[in-house]
Amino acid sequence: MSQLQVGDSAPQFQSVAVGGPYGDGTLVRLADFAGQNVVLYFYPKDDTPGCTTQACGLRDSWSRLEGKAVVFGVSIDPPASHQKFIQKYTLPFRLLADENHSLVEAFQVWVEKSMYGKTYMGTERSTFVIGGDGTLKAIFRKVKPAEHLDLLLNALQ
């Protein structure tokens, strides 16, 4: 399968959302947000240094993002872990629990990684901006947590 490109139709999805204005356990689908920009930012693990930097960067600049897109953080962590992460850092956006790996696989961010000479499968820190028409408007792969906000704001202008 070739890698997703800007202009491609975004993979359709449904996932359990945690946090945000709709409460916990809400099943959301991409189709629910037709006509709106949607941001899916994939990150490796709740409450780890890089993932916390990335999430708190979005939180701290939420007034600059709110209204420009519906933002979802996505990881393979379970809903209970997401809830703790949201509460600990007062995150204003929802997190999607992708325990079955359907999203990380559909968006092609479940990749081989290596650390200290060992290889393993994990989530590549990547962000996808989906336009209101369901097409991919921007893709950022191997995002550095501290640079994520600026990339996202530029894509949503």
Q: How far apart are alpha carbons 96 and 121 in whole angstroms?
A: 19
Asked whether 148 and 54 are in contact (CB, 8 A), the reply is yes
Using DSSP bridges, classify how beta strands 70-75 and 38-42 pair: parallel, antiparallel or unpaired: parallel
Task: Read off the amino acid at residue 117.
Answer: G
Q: How far apart are alpha carbons 65 and 137 in whole angstroms?
A: 16
Q: Which of 51, 97, 103, 149 is catalytic?
A: 51
56 catalytically annotated: no
Asked whether 15 and 27 are in contact (CB, 8 A), the reply is yes
In 44-97, DSSP assigns E strands to: 70-75, 94-97
Active site residues: 51
